[in-house]
Amino acid sequence: MIVVQKQVNFSHAAYAASAAALLLILFLPFAVVVKQEYKVQKELQESLREPPTVTVEKPAAALQMAAAEPAGQSTTTETEAVVSKQQQQPPPPPPSSCLGSCLKHMFNPPAKGEDYTILQALVSVDMLVLFLATICGVGGTLTAIDNMGQIGQSLGYPAKSINTFVSLISIWNYAGRVTAGFASEIFLSRYKFPRPLMLTLVLLLSCVGHLLIAFGVPQSLYAASVVIGFCFGAQWPLLFAIISEVFGLKYYSTLYNFGSVASPIGAYVLNVRVAGYLYDVEAAKQHGGSLAGGDKTCIGVPCFRKSFLIITAATVAGALVSLVLVWRTRNFYKGDIYAKFRYNAAATEDSVTPPEQRLKEEEESTAVNGKKG
């Protein structure tokens, strides 16, 4: 709508209709929440209306044996059993400092998908590879987004078109976040397509946008805005999903923030130290070799050519680095990465199921298997 309204004059009725449609779309997710809450409330009311009864019965043989034994002999036997059990228990380990224990296990991580500690995750090769790839990918796209106004100005686009570029980046940023999350989940569940490889493809796609800016292809900044906005948004859900899947959920909130640190680092290196510096150098050439107190505007394709060629090379390097993560996690993503969650859910369900219901289900299962046999 933002792009359309800059090209077409809207009447008051058209604005009202579009606003109503957008509000409807905005509040549609509340319908899902209300439906789910109603379902939970209904199930709770039904469970309270018919509370389960739990009865614990001892076998008849055990009761007869307990009645036959004299009281003193039974008490003595139980006491001896308790003392024997206490003697069999190993002595408690000597106390050790938390720091020593953490450092001891820091370089001995669990299997992929299990819960890493914070130190185990931070020093792991997988996290370092993912961090470097994110610095290159997010840093490059963020540099293009931050400088889109100056890029459009240097390539001779009017102010109206520059505003459209900013809108396109915002729209496709959102589209990239949504699409990458859904698409990666579908490909992973159906075809065992690893999520790190999806991140590699997104990094390579962003190179197309960087090259369009570097060579200043006429009227290509529209396509470059779409590609860069989409790739910038698509990297975030892939990054956070990979962190949660490979390193577990126990310390996910801390590792989530560590992954986000790649954004300012990449922006500083590629935006400030590369694009900003080379832009000032080219602007100084156009203004007699000095920018002190003068105009810093640079006009022409050379203003961002070198910087975005460097950014393209850095992004390709990030894609190659991410292939290391693809190789290291290939067996993990070939398996069932959600198996442990199903196992935990089944264990929880068994722990809250009444014994009578569990016994009834086992008898029914046995009867069905007997008929099949």
Assigned token pair, 44: 């709770």
Burial 119-129 (b: 16+ CB within 10 A, else e): ebbbebebbeb
User: What pLDDT digit, counting tens, does each position of 12-66 carry?
Assistant: 888 888 888 878 887 887 787 788 788 888 888 877 776 556 565 555 555 555 5
Q: At what angle do helices 195-215 and 302-328 cross, to 10 degrees?
A: 170
User: What pLDDT digit, counting tens, does each position of 239-296 carry?
Assistant: 999 999 999 999 999 999 988 999 999 999 999 999 999 999 999 888 776 666 556 7
Q: What is the pTM of this model?
A: 0.71
Q: How far apart are CA 165 and CA 326, in angstroms?
A: 34
Assigned token pair, 356: 């009578």
Q: How far apart are CA 177 and CA 202, in angstroms?
A: 12
Q: How far apart are CA 348 and CA 95, in angstroms?
A: 33
Q: How far apart are CA 228 and CA 167, in angstroms?
A: 12
Query: Residue 309 phi/psi, 5° resolution?
Result: -70, -40
**Domain 118-339 adopts which CATH fold?**
Growth Hormone; Chain: A; (1.20.1250)
Domain ranges of the chain: 118-339
User: What pLDDT digit, counting tens, does each position of 138-154 carry?
Assistant: 999 999 999 999 999 99
Q: Which of 275, 165, 170, 180 is nearest to 223 (CA)?
A: 165
